[in-house]
Structure 1
Amino acid sequence: MRAFLNIAALILWMVSQVQLVSARQLTVAPNGPVSSVKEGIALASSGDTLVLKEGHYDEYDITVDKPLTIIGEGQVVIDGNRKGFVLVITADDVTVKNIEVRHASTSFMEDYAGILVENTNNTVIENVTLTDNFFGIYLAKSSNALIKDNHITASGGRETSSGNGIHLWYSKDIDIQGNYVEGHRDGLYFEFVEGATISGNVSEHNIRYGIHFMYSDNCRYEGNTFRDNGGGVAVMYTQNVEIINNRFEDNWGSSAYGMLLKEINRSQIEGNEFVNNSVGLYIEATSRNSIKKNSFRQNGWAIKLMANSTDNRFTENNFIANSFEISTNSRQNYNAFDNNYWSQYEGYDLDKDGIGDVPHRPVRLFSIIVEKHPPSLLLLRSLLIDILDAAEKFMPVLTPETLIDSQPKMTKIL
């Protein structure tokens, strides 16, 4: 048996050496014997490396249909000139690095992309600049891809004339890290994705959402920044998602949120910063989630919590200098708040244990008035409103009597 295993190991080693010897490096240069990317791919064999020398390549619908590594040297630009897709990857084990891809076509019928990845496994797209494409990177029915350190920008101006920066559809186990996305319809878009990790990305100044996330279970996004997007961030129809240590900031507008949660279940929202948004966190039809150790600072509304959301637990969060801490559309409460810090808390701590001796009621009467009559927001700083709020706290009539933090922290939670 041992001799058999040794022979098998020797055969595998010999095969690997043959593969190493057979892999070649081919050069493509604008003024060289091989002057187009398409020609280089046609001449290459599986496993080869294609080196693109510095220059401008006017090509579109370039299909990578075999395992290859494509690497740019110097300033390499592939320009589709609005004639179709630019780079289409249909083979497994393809790597693309250090190039710029420009000007995929725009269409109302076709999802043209700077880089389209379809029905593949083990794709790597790294350090690629994608400029003024309809869609930037589009993955469909693919798995085990790495999308890393890419710079993706567009200037469509309207939702109808712009696709998404990074678009995933029916894909699995995708790692998206360290990318910058700006000026697209949605910075990142996920639909029917499983097991993806999104970390260290910046998505800002996009027309609609910084990330639009639907029907995508068991995913994690961590350490990202979503800034000044038209609608903020939307996470919908998903379970078992981890949203950890992200920043949601400067998302302002009548329909803008730091993050919108709709039908999100059994998920973890922890350590995030919600800063300077119209609404920090909007929660609708969402249940059994842990919202813990987040910071809500200087938002219009820190949290809008709809009545159809149940069994969510809010603990050890900081609510600092928000115009309204919690707003809800029901007099009933089916969620738990405890051990949070509220900068608007007016209670006391006689036994000096760091916990307020009286509960905190974060829902103001005035927030209910504003929901019904938005122009009344002009009275926010008036003495009359302060008196109404004080009376409602003393004897709740319109605000939910059970929506309280019975153990409010006296100092900010670090």
Structure 2
Amino acid sequence: MKRLSLILLFCLWTIPVYAADLQTQIDATPAGGTLYLTATTYNGNYYITKPITIIGQEGTKIRSMTKAPAITIEDTNQVTLENITMEAQQRAIVIKKANEVTVTHTKMSNVNAGIFVQQAKDIHIKDNYITGTAAHYAKKGNGIALYQSTDVTIQNNTIQQVQDGIYIENVQRIRIDHNNVTNSRYGTHFMYSEDGEVWHNTYENNVTGLMVMMVDGFAAGNNTIRRHMQINGSGMTLYDVKNAKVRANTITENRIGLALQMTAQTSIKANQFNMNQTAFEAIKTDRTTALMANYFQGNILTARSDAKGVLLQRNTYDDYHGIDPNNSGYGETPYYAYSSFGQWMVRQPAYQFFIASPSVTLLTALDQQASGGNVLQDDQPKMMQSSVTVKQINYTQLLIGIACILVAIVVWWRNVKR
């Protein structure tokens, strides 16, 4: 009998606790109250239509058994969801016509789509972990999707294997800060939105890191954008964009670092372009789009352009071979953003094996003597600074070395005399 009791106790301890009355608990919690979840797993689809805070314990899971969202928040305000794991066949969380909603420290794994927001205001989505499926991009949804909303903060989220990590359409005043988006189609995708800000994010191994389309007013700074190497991919694409500021980003190991298409009143300043196939590409832009004080190093090709439109000012180029006789820090002759060999190598990567050959070096030097046509030109390129590290002498090691040499000489001399 004692053994049977122990077995029953073990089973009760190890088998997850399921609860079917979560909706009842939500309905019974007074407006503005806090509901602490006690069960391990809740199976169902739940609706929140009043101010409430719901906090899960370690391991609390809400699992949608149908194609409906696990949780729907609608026609209410002041709602907080915290510390909950969710599973859903389609969307995990839907927020509609709601204000002052916070979703934090949730985990969504193997979901078609994570969080869907529509016609909402003052939304905070932070410290969440969203993982999609291994399906093709066309068969899965977005990690976080926002439509027709205002005043949104998306912060410290990790998102992977979805269609678009963060999709934004007709949203005003959104800040995207310190997120990590990988292995998706677009890391962050803007459409028809204004006053968007993207700071301190990491985009890696997506098709395109940042896709910004038909936007007036946009800023991106201090982001790390790397390893977007698919055939139609780029680190960042600005398409039909006005009044944009791109500052101090690290753009590295992309097929195209920055793609500009029909941009105007756009400032691209103090960015690092490293080891891209093409650092930047400009199509149908004008001279109100300026690249200033950027640093280009290790790129196969600095620039490709269909017209002499983009303005280049005081950038640093590792393939610039001019001189600075006045010691001003800037070259005496212009830099021409053109490389015959680079154009070929972008199309045929195997050519990279000849990159340091004498003939290629000569061809690159001849390119820099060219002018006119559609060649982009920087009239005052910044000289690349070479740094030499001077180490202090270790006198102890020096004396030991001299002593060893003297001993060796003495031994050698004695052997010779013998």
- Written as runs of structure 1 = structure 2, the 5 A alignment for 1:147-296 is 147-206=125-184, 208-296=185-273
Of 285, 297, 301, which aligns to 1:320? 297
Q: What residue is the counterpart of 1:55 in the other structure?
A: 40
Q: Is 1:95 the equivalent of 2:95?
A: no
Structure number with greater Rg is 2
Inter-partner Cα distance in structure 2 for 1:38 and 1:158: 35
For the residue of structure 2 that corresponds to 1:119, the secondary structure is strand
Question: Over residues 304-337 of structure 1, what are the superposed CA-to-partner deviations in whole Å (9 max), with x where a residue is unaligned?
Answer: 111334411111111011111111123xx22321
Q: TM-score of the superposition, structure 2-length normalised?
A: 0.83
| Partners of 1:226 and 1:409 in 2: CA distance | 29
Amino acid at match of 2:181: S
| 1:66 counterpart = 2:50 | yes
TM superposition score normalised by structure 1 = 0.84
Letter in 2 for 1:116: V
Does structure 2 conserve the Cα–Cα contact (< 8 Å) formed by 1:365 and 1:398?
no
Amino acid across the alignment from 1:244: G
Equivalent position amino acid for 2:159 in 1:
V
Provide the residue aligned with 2:25 in structure 1.
40
Cα offset for 1:300? 0.6
* 3-state SS of paired residue (1:41): helix
The gaps in structure 1 that reach 5 residues or longer are: 1-29, 106-111
Q: 1:229 to 1:271 in 2, by over 3 A?
A: same
**Aligned pairs, number:** 369
Measure how far apart 1:174 and its partner are. Answer: 0.3
Please give the per-residue CA displacement for 1:131-164, whole angstroms capped at 9, x wherever unaligned.
1221101101101011010011111421222100
Corresponding position: 1:125 with 2:103: yes
List gaps (5 residues or longer) in structure 2.
1-15, 388-418
- Distance in 2, matches of 1:192 and 1:385, equals 49
Q: Give 2:316's aligned residue.
A: 341
Distance (whole Å) between structure 1 residues aligned to residue 377 and residue 17 of structure 2: 73
Contact residue 20 and residue 43 of structure 2 kept, 8 A: no
Structure 1 SS opposite 2:121 = coil
Counterpart of 2:351, as a letter, is: L
Which stretch shifts more, 388-397 or 65-74?
Answer: 388-397
Paired position in structure 2 for 1:85 = 69
Residues 392 and 399 in structure 1, CA contact (< 8 A), matched pair in contact too: no
- Which range is displaced more, 291-300 or 46-55? 46-55
Paired-residue identity, %: 27
- 1: distance between equivalents of 2:385 and 2:116? 43
Contact persistence 2:165–2:187 (CA under 8 A): yes
Aligned residue in 2 for 1:393: 368
Query: What is the one-letter code of the residue matched to 1:187?
Result: G
- 1:233-276, CA deviations, whole angstroms, 9 ceiling, x for partnerless residues? 21110011111111111111111100011011111100111011
| CA RMSD across the alignment | 2.2
Moved more, 378-387 or 223-232: 378-387
Distance 1:218 1:299, change over 3 A: same
**SS in structure 1 opposite 2:368?**
helix
1:351 aligns with 326
In structure 1, the partner of 2:3 is none
